[in-house]
A and B are shown apart, each in its own frame.
Chain A
């Protein structure tokens, strides 16, 4: 089973709101990732967690705050976002950082 789940599927939030995106996998993978994908573009890497520790932050603004509560869960906390942050947010996981990545269905975020 190579399934990564993400909730919610869609999210609309105002610029003053605080919300969270959730990602879950039960494949025993030890690496998890957040990507941002704008329309008609490839995904852009945001964060990498390896063994529940943040290992890569691709210079993402602090209004995006990742959290890895355990080896199966990955959250992305959102605060004071801008309209240009509207995008599809994809979570991925892999057995380790040296293995291929499997993506979830994404959360479509709209910031108003």
Chain B
């Protein structure tokens, strides 16, 4: 079946540090991959996506590249801000039929000034 594995959190960084949150997946076929962000007390926001191998999704300084050979979709940002503190969910959906989202467990990011 389909599954997503994320690194355990929390990830604690100082402002302006480099961020990597690891995400690997198991899927049949060629899924689409997503990162969602959930700020405290809010719903999920779609941060970025990639629909095929070697695609790079990017938004608000965050990037992730769809790596089929390593079945990974790691989230990166060059310089984090306090306002990036949130929970980040990696997710996949199959590319055929109903796009049921399969989420990772989420990684909490805490950025201190």
Question: Which residues of A approach B to under 8 Å, CB–CB?
Answer: 2, 4, 6, 40-43, 45, 48, 55-56, 88, 90, 92, 94, 97-106, 108
Q: How far is the CB of A94 from chain B (nearest CB, A)?
A: 7
Q: CA separation between A103 and B31, bound complex, in Å? A: 20
Residues from chain B with a CB closer than 8 A to the CB of A106 are: 42-43
Q: Enumerate chain B interface residues (CB-CB to A < 8 A).
A: 32, 34, 36, 41-46, 49, 89, 91, 93, 97-101, 103-106
Contact pick for A105, options B32, B42, B49, B93, CB 8 Å: B42
CA separation between A41 and B41, bound complex, in Å?
14
Chain B residues closer than 8 Å to A92, beta-carbon distance? 44
In the complex, A94 Cα to B47 Cα: how many Å? 15
Chain A proximity of B74: nearest CB distance (Å): 18
